[in-house]
Chain A
Amino acid sequence: MILQALAFYLFAFVAVASGVMVISSRNPVHSVLFLILAFFNGAGLFVLMGAEFLAMILVVVYVGAVAVLFLFVVMMLDINYVEMRKGFLQYLPVGGLIGLILLVELTFVVGAWVAAPAAGTVASIPIAPPEQVHNTRALGNVIYTDYIYLFQAAGLVLLVAMVGAIVLTLRQREGVRRQSIAGQIGRKRADSIELKDVPRGSGV
């Protein structure tokens, strides 16, 4: 038990600390690396809670794909961060004021927070205890059975995003050389090889 608590505090502390580093480090590449560290610790926290499937997914998807993609984007795009921060001071008073107002409002809301007394009874998808259903199955039930409509709708949203990105950015350029597999296979020996009798001593 004490080991578990220690592990929790270790993961939690490193996750929060690396989160702070993500937004405070000057070098964007370092930020992404700290983000990966934060993901790893998040995965550790999931394992402690008994959600091992989520933990693995977090490592595979976020660390393996998303964070690496971020890294590529940060390295490939030559964004001038000094230039981006130029307007920062100019907008700081207005933005700060709005942020302050929202913060005060939030304090009021959280201070007076009550959940409806009937809220517990209507919670639509009760969480199955991990001893009865292992969590891959529980997640699958929620995503592919209970919320299949939302899953499919989200799929359509992503399809539209993909089509939209292609529509807005793809340009048909002239003179682009593309691979034509049929052309490559259908090529005859006679099309590409020519035998020449070279007279001795005179070159081709």
Chain B
Amino acid sequence: MISLDLTSALPEVFLACAAMVLLMLGVFRRAGSTRLVLVLTVVVLAVALLLIVFSPDDRALAFNGLFVTDNFTAYMKVLVLLGAALTIGMSLGYIEREQMDRFEFPVLMLFATLGMLAMVSANDLISLYLGLELQSLSLYVITAFRRDTVRSSEAGLKYFVLGALSSGMLLYGSSMVYGFAGSTNFEALAEVLAADLAFDRTPSLGLIVGLVFLLAGLAFKVSAVPFHMWTPDVYEGAPTPVTAFLASAPKVAAMALIVRVMVGPFGDLFEQWQQIVVVISIGSMVLGAFAAINQTNIKRLMAYSSIGHMGYVLVGLAAGTEAGVLGIVVYLAIYLIMNIGTFACILCMSQEGRMVERIEDLKGLGKSNPLMALAMTILMFSMAGIPPLAGFFGKYFVFLAAIEAGLYALAVIGVLASVVGAFYYVRIVKLMYFEEPAEVLDRPIGAVLRLMITGTSLAMVLFLLVAGPVVGGAGAAAAALFAG
């Protein structure tokens, strides 16, 4: 019997308590506490990050086997916390300017982050679901946070209805899996399925249907094709810092969850889920590349871009090997930083104090703000995957894993899709440097955003210098998943 071991869940317990304290602080201090609560939220996230970095590396179970920590969860949690802290930090200027500075905003983001950590550490179908709901519910609310604008409330409602549907599918799948295996615990599931497959080679139909529903529910959360319909509308309608948040940390957490569920308990059903992952991966890469071409709104463009990126990440999962998981982890790390940098640039897009989000508004940025244009160029080239920028290495690792696993067609389609995708990234660069502006963007852009943009674009250029620890850590994370 595994005892209740709180120490390995210390970061989560700390985060939960801190979130409630901050909620109280905001309630009792009333107006004018937003800035304080937001700064404290970032501090809390940083402390949680340190707690994770300095926690022991070996695999540990807590709460009766419902909760697991190992190298994989530690790496993913660091990414999630980093993404959350950076996006919350850069939202301050926006929420004050747009009069949505209520203290609940950072607190709800903190709860969403807590949900993501719970997702990453889930070791049971029930803890998976509760983590997912904690995250999604907070995200629905902050998407609709500007309740007086039609677009924001519409985005929130759409996200909520479709999210509820996907949760329903996930639960339906889970109940079928439970009905087959008699347990929801990941280790017990793995044991039962392995024993069952050793007994006779054809897995039961009910189990496969359950697995498909489970995968569909999870694919919705990472917005993989064909469960991507909500993404462009929600990204466009949500306030820009919320979009930045949606596109970074939750994606990492949901992808970590998919990888753990597929490789862990369902590792023995690899042949069954591999074909599904291959199909949704191809779909996401192709749709992400082609549908983004015609977009005029930069947030919609980023939505399709994130769909495409999730497709590339799934290539690593389709390989189903340790190298594939390593590729996924490296890709997610790079994607996170790249995305935060790009959204920091988007948050700077204002003309005479009001936010603009058309791609045309970037025209002539090369003349009006050459440094920001340079940073944006670096980020766009990195998104397109042009060496020696960081984005290239992410794609390199996943495609390498796919080729090693013999998935040549998938790798070729992926490379072709990234060539098509490069078109719309380069188009933004062309607009910035080779077209005359109709109206210039505001300057100055604020110290926090300037720091973010500089930091992320430097990270893209100098990736080779930090590649050792990033890839090494990812290797340890992937090994932890395949150890059992």
Whole-angstrom distance between the alpha carbons of A115 and B185 in the complex?
16
Within 8 A of A (CB), among B23-47: 23
Interface residue range, chain B: 35 or more
Instruction: Check if B114 sits within 8 Å of A164, measured CB to CB.
Output: no
Instruction: Check if B183 sits within 8 Å of A156, measured CB to CB.
Output: no
Instruction: Check if B195 sits within 8 Å of A118, measured CB to CB.
Output: yes
Which residue of chain B lies nearest to A123 when distances are taken between CB atoms in the complex? B182
Which residue of chain B lies nearest to A113 when distances are taken between CB atoms in the complex? B206
Contact partners of B188 in chain A: CB under 8 A: 122, 124
Number of interface residues of A (CB under 8 A): 34
10 A/B residue pairs, CB under 8 Å, sorted by A: A109-B206, A113-B179, A119-B180, A119-B192, A120-B182, A122-B188, A149-B66, A149-B127, A156-B16, A157-B130
B138 lies within 8 A of chain A by Cβ? yes
A94 lies within 8 A of chain B by Cβ? no
Contact partners of A163 in chain B: CB under 8 A: 23, 104, 107-108, 111, 141
Instruction: Check if B191 sits within 8 Å of A156, measured CB to CB.
Output: no
Min distance, Cβ B11 to any Cβ of chain A, angstroms: 14
A164 and B66 contact, Cβ closer than 8 Å, known pairs A109-B176, A150-B127, A153-B134: no
Instruction: Check if B195 sits within 8 Å of A108, measured CB to CB.
Output: no
Helix, strand, loop or mixed for chain B's interface?
Answer: helix
Q: Which 8 residue pairs are nearest across A and B when measured between Cβ atoms?
A: A119-B182, A164-B141, A149-B63, A122-B188, A153-B130, A122-B183, A116-B196, A118-B195
Min distance, Cβ B296 to any Cβ of chain A, angstroms: 30
Min distance, Cβ B225 to any Cβ of chain A, angstroms: 20
B449 lies within 8 A of chain A by Cβ? no
B209 lies within 8 A of chain A by Cβ? yes
A60 lies within 8 A of chain B by Cβ? no
Whole-angstrom distance between the alpha carbons of A5 and B105 in the complex?
56
Whole-angstrom distance between the alpha carbons of A108 and B204 in the complex?
11
A116 and B181 contact, Cβ closer than 8 Å, known pairs A109-B176, A167-B108: yes
Min distance, Cβ A46 to any Cβ of chain B, angstroms: 21
Instruction: Check if B182 sits within 8 Å of A156, measured CB to CB.
Output: no
Whole-angstrom distance between the alpha carbons of A200 and B114 in the complex?
76
Which residue of B4, B62, B138 is within 8 Å of A164 (Cβ)? B138
Within 8 A of A (CB), among B137-153: 137-138, 140-141, 144-145, 147
B133 lies within 8 A of chain A by Cβ? yes
Which residue of chain B lies nearest to A114 when distances are taken between CB atoms in the complex? B204
Min distance, Cβ A168 to any Cβ of chain B, angstroms: 5
Best-buried of A112, A114, A119, A146 by chain B (most CB within 10 Å): A119
